[in-house]
Structure 1
Amino acid sequence: MKSKRIYKLLVAVFLAATCVFGMATPVLASPSPAPEDVFPEEEVTDLWDSALQQDVVPDKGSVNDLRMTVNSTESTNSINSTTSGVYPTRKGEILVTTDPYMGSVPSGHAAIVYDREQVVESLQDGVQFGTNHWDDKYTLTIGLTVNSTTLAQDAAAAEWCAGQRGKPYNYNFFDVETRDRFYCSQLVWASFHDLYGIDLNTWVFGQAIHPAELVLSDQTRTVYTHAR
């Protein structure tokens, strides 16, 4: 009988210790840094200044006579527009703009072309298809191609991005390794990084990747610009 009482006492002590020491202590997630702290305005402005000085060259698979420079005035609203190159409609080309989209990454947005009508992009409500009519949406559009990939590899990168649809927006711009959520330029970067080991990041902001860095990466070249 005595041994039973001792056994029950030991069990009670063990359970009490488990409740006290094994109880999970809530850990408050540290807030994601503000976009303007990750991408300081002055540095972003300098990046865009450099990005806009890049020469426009033919896309892979194109020939020199496809290059064109057009200066025109849109009669409907008298907006002067300048275009150089051929608008990206090939699957796997990259689109970048200086315009912010819905207050996410400041001063910039990026997407990958899926076809003539669609891009894959990450907006505030997550990864999704968007319209491939950026000249109508943004004041400046830049088209890019990755130097070392084939046309088939570019298409596979776009398909990889399409496979991430439905995942939420990533507000932690430094956490580019997560594949549970994406911000716009992280999504484009991750497709070429994961499939081919190509790093489009210039590391100006550490691991965080601003859309302008996709233009300035030595792994890409500019194939199109449109400004209005």
Structure 2
Amino acid sequence: MINKQTFKSVLCSTLLITGIGFSQQAFAAESNSLEKEAIKQHKISGMSDKEITELIKTAKEDRKFAETKGDELYKKDQKEFKQLETSGQIDKLYPKYKVEKNKISALSTKKYMGTKGDVLVSYEINSGSASIGVGHAAIVAQNSSNTVESWAKSYSPKKQDGVRKYPNTWNTKKKVYGLWVKGSSNAKYIGAAKYAEKQASNKKPYNWNFLNKNTTKSFYCSQLAWRAWKNQGIDIDNIKWDTIVTPMELVKSNNTKIFKHNK
């Protein structure tokens, strides 16, 4: 079995797995097994072949955006922070910019990324679907040394299914974003972190039906981050009327801004 749980994004039929001491044939066998299991679970959850194909297309578009426009979006957001600071509006829209930016800077010298309630997004790691590979998302717990994440068991670093707490090592990862939520108060950041932690305490299972973002009986990774903030009255999905929320939609949302980008 693979011990290092770093999974590259997959657009069609190949899952690239980072590991130590494995031959190409071993990688291929593990990849094929995970992919077949993922497709099986998507279908059991109610997704059709057509829906899975459409989501593969979405994943391809998301990854292309991240790799071609992601840093441009980060620079645009940083410019907006500076403009809001100059105009005196920064405290109202992004209170963490002043209140916690020094703390975030200090934490960034460690493994941690972000503080309570922040949303973290990877466009390289996958948490459940070898066939779709839409990336991964997490939410920072009240204690910044932890995150709350939802993984499928086969992909989980702990080999546990669904929502659990994990060590916050996101600052050591590449191709990740840290997101702040527009117009949020300290109380809402705490509320979002608490909501996610409650799902971890209840050990909510992984949601294989990516088209059912509205259920609270199970969660996929970006759905968990979205729901934690939806419960605070802020919708951080990009396309708010549809039934799926991918990790990159959290990045492209008009209600989030990128405070950090590790390329």
Question: Structure 1 residues 213 and 51, CA, compared in 2 at 3 Å: closer, same or farther?
Answer: farther
**Take 2:197 and 2:140, find their aligned partners in 1: how far apart are those partners?**
10
Q: Which has the larger radius of gyration?
A: 1
**Take 1:127 and 1:36, find their aligned partners in 2: how far apart are those partners?**
26
Aligned-CA RMSD value: 3.2
Give the one of 134, 137, 145 matched to 1:110.
137
> Identity rate of aligned residues, in percent?
29
**Take 2:53 and 2:174, find their aligned partners in 1: how far apart are those partners?**
21
Aligned to 2:71: 52
Shift >6 Å, 4+ stretches: none
Aligned to 1:215: 251
Gaps of 5+ in 2: 1-42, 83-93, 153-160
Asked if 2 retains the 8 angstrom alpha-carbon contact of 1:35 and 1:106, the reply is no
**Take 1:30 and 1:222, find their aligned partners in 2: how far apart are those partners?**
33
**Take 1:63 and 1:156, find their aligned partners in 2: how far apart are those partners?**
20
Aligned to 1:18: none
Q: Which secondary structure does the structure 1 equivalent of 2:232 belong to?
A: helix
Report the CA distance between 1:172 and its aligned residue: 0.5
**Take 1:130 and 1:120, find their aligned partners in 2: how far apart are those partners?**
6
Question: Structure 1 residues 35 and 117, CA, compared in 2 at 3 Å: closer, same or farther?
Answer: farther
Asked if 2 retains the 8 angstrom alpha-carbon contact of 1:146 and 1:219, the reply is yes
Q: What letter corresponds to residue 133 of structure 1 in structure 2?
A: T
Aligned to 1:123: 151
Asked if 1 retains the 8 angstrom alpha-carbon contact of 2:136 and 2:247, the reply is yes
**Take 1:180 and 1:68, find their aligned partners in 2: how far apart are those partners?**
33
Aligned to 1:63: 98
Question: Structure 1 residues 39 and 208, CA, compared in 2 at 3 Å: closer, same or farther?
Answer: farther
Q: What letter corresponds to residue 45 of structure 1 in structure 2?
A: R
Aligned to 1:38: 55
Report the CA distance between 1:155 and its aligned residue: 1.1
Asked if 1 retains the 8 angstrom alpha-carbon contact of 2:113 and 2:169, the reply is no
Q: Which secondary structure does the structure 2 equivalent of 1:159 belong to?
A: helix
**TM-score between both structures, scaled by the size of structure 2:** 0.61
Q: What letter corresponds to residue 155 of structure 1 in structure 2?
A: I
Asked if 1 retains the 8 angstrom alpha-carbon contact of 2:127 and 2:135, the reply is no
**TM-score between both structures, scaled by the size of structure 1:** 0.69
Report the CA distance between 1:118 and its aligned residue: 0.3
Q: Which secondary structure does the structure 2 equivalent of 1:155 belong to?
A: helix
Question: Structure 1 residues 68 and 184, CA, compared in 2 at 3 Å: closer, same or farther?
Answer: closer
- More RCO (CA 8 Å, sep 6+): 1
What do residues 23-81 of structure 1 show as CA deviations (whole Å, max 9, x unaligned)? xxxxx967324655324143223332333323234863333985999xxxxxxxxxxxx
**Take 2:44 and 2:134, find their aligned partners in 1: how far apart are those partners?**
27
Give the one of 180, 186, 190 matched to 1:155.
190
**Take 1:126 and 1:152, find their aligned partners in 2: how far apart are those partners?**
26
Question: Structure 1 residues 188 and 147, CA, compared in 2 at 3 Å: closer, same or farther?
Answer: same
Gaps of 5+ in 1: 1-27, 70-82
How many residues align structurally? 183
Report the CA distance between 1:224 and its aligned residue: 0.9
What do residues 102-144 of structure 1 show as CA deviations (whole Å, max 9, x unaligned)? 44361411000012210001011100001111132x3222100
Asked if 2 retains the 8 angstrom alpha-carbon contact of 1:50 and 1:216, the reply is no
More strand by share: 1
Equivalence map 1:62-211=2 (5 Å): 62-63=97-98, 88-104=113-129, 106-114=133-141, 115-124=143-152, 125-136=161-172, 138-165=173-200, 166-196=203-233, 198-203=234-239, 206-211=242-247
